[in-house]
Amino acid sequence: MSKIRAFRAYRPRPELSARVASFPYDVINSEEARALAQGNPYTFLHVGKPEIDLDPSVPLYDERVYAMGRENLHRMIREGVLLHDDKPYLYIYQQKMGDHVQAGLVCLCSVKEYEEDLIKKHEFTRKDKEDDRTRHVATQNANAEPVFLTYQARKDIDQIVDWVRAEKPLYDIVTDDGIGHTVWRVDNDEWRSHLETLFAQVPALYVADGHHRTAAAVRTGQALRQKSATHTGQEPFEYFMAVVFPHDQLQIMDYNRVVKDLNGLSRNGFVDKVVERFKVKVGDSPKPKAPRHFGMFLEGHWYELEAREGTYPADDPVKGLDVSILQDNLLAPILGITDPRTDKRIDFVGGIRGTKELEKRVGEGWAVAFSLFPTSLDQLMAVADSGQVMPPKSTWFEPKLRSGLLVRLIED
């Protein structure tokens, strides 16, 4: 089952919603956040990236950064930038990027279900990043930025979401990047109850994007549980805020690679080794058209690579992924990149930036670039269901959730 719960959101005054909505903390760096926040006291970057309000010399993990985030959040509440709904609600959050539309349910999800692997993961987290987010959540005592979850789509849930979307929204804004963000509140108590009942029939939820945010929210709940003298399991800290999207509406883009050098090989020597494991031909397109096909940009030309049969286990949910095939058959044995998490000779380029970015990077001195076919939601779920994790940088979700449109204080 998947237990969901309504909550009393803090949300922007409608006339300020476009100014409050901001990129999540992990999409931009501190310098970019400072520039975006210039002249805008309402942007939620003051909460998600509070270092922008301190001298740049202050270390990112300094206690003053976490205290500033809490102060900024409570200032926005005190000054009426964020208003508090009168009772617990469920919400719908829709995003539109070009022709792509996705609509998710904003609700509280269960810490216990995460612990029991009913909210499934597909990535490792980094301890330093997880510790940082946990300190932000604990200090603010808030789920300030939502977690991004998914589930196997159900038509009965879709139908209720569509009913809500036929109503007048709370917000309907377009951010500077051209992405539309629309939020509705589920005011109909019968619909809310029906959604809770239907989600109780969903066998599992999956972390799509935001493993560190999820882990931080869970760790905060666990710490508060340990301090509780009369624990019942129904306390507010036993839940965290998430946007839960049906899997068939989500869009995963390619996550591409660039490598600094050819590991001491000449061009011809490198290509000869690639041919041993891939069929290679001059490419007519930089983007692969099917799984197990790859684009390779080398010395100003695109090539199409197709993995040879027998070079990968097709029935293995992890080893059969395109990112694994490229890693195990080319990046590691030919280019010597055995640990892409730490090797400085490799970098990763999200598909939102396009293949022109790969060409640009090679033009700037990187030796070779690879474009990949996007990982599918079915593959993500298969990995999570198997209890395994994906290789690093396997998925790039677009569009990104905006922070600040719905906020939850944990004691609520």
pLDDT in tens, 13-22: 999 999 999 9
pLDDT of residue 107: 98
DSSP 108-162: EEEHHHHHTTSEE--S---HHHHHHHHHHHHHHTEE-S-EEEEE---HHHHHHHH
255-373 CATH fold = 3.30.1760
- Decide if pLDDT at 375 tops 80: yes
| Lateral strand order in the sheet of 368-372 | 278-282, 301-307, 293-298, 368-372, 255-259, 346-350
pLDDT of residue 116: 96
pLDDT single digits (tens) 309-326: 999 999 999 999 999 999
Give the pLDDT band (50/70/90) at residue 351. confident
Distance CA 214, CA 110 (A): 11
Residue with tokens 């080319």: 330
Q: Strands 100-110 and 4-5, how do they pair?
A: antiparallel
Neighbours of 127 (CB within 10 A): 10
pLDDT of residue 77: 98
pLDDT of residue 101: 98
Is the CA virtual torsion 202, 203, 209, 210 positive or negative? positive
| Cβ within 8 Å of residue 97, ≥6 positions away | 178, 179, 180, 251, 398, 399
Query: What is the residue-averaged pLDDT of the chain?
Result: 96
Average pLDDT over residues 155-164: 98
Distance CA 220, CA 309 (A): 47
- Decide if pLDDT at 412 tops 80: no
- Decide if pLDDT at 284 tops 90: no
| Cβ within 8 Å of residue 347, ≥6 positions away | 257, 258, 260, 361, 366
- Decide if pLDDT at 51 tops 90: yes
pLDDT of residue 407: 98
What secondary structure letter does DSSP report for 234? -
Q: Strands 239-246 and 142-143, how do they pair?
A: unpaired
Domain boundaries, the chain: 4-251+398-409, 255-373
pLDDT single digits (tens) 180-238: 999 999 999 999 999 999 999 999 999 998 899 999 999 999 999 999 888 888 899 99
Closest CA to 81 of 12, 8, 10: 12
pLDDT of residue 89: 98
Average pLDDT over residues 340-353: 92
pLDDT of residue 399: 94
Q: Which runs of consecutive H residues, i.e. helices, occur in 313-403?
A: 322-326, 355-363, 377-385
More confident residue, 262 or 124: 262
pLDDT of residue 361: 97
Q: Which runs of consecutive H residues, i.e. helices, occur in 287-400?
A: 322-326, 355-363, 377-385
The two tokens of residue 8 are 């009393």
Distance CA 291, CA 307 (A): 9
| Cβ within 8 Å of residue 167, ≥6 positions away | 184, 187
Q: Which runs of consecutive H residues, i.e. helices, occur in 143-210?
A: 155-165, 189-199
Is the CA virtual torsion 332, 337, 342, 345 positive or negative? negative
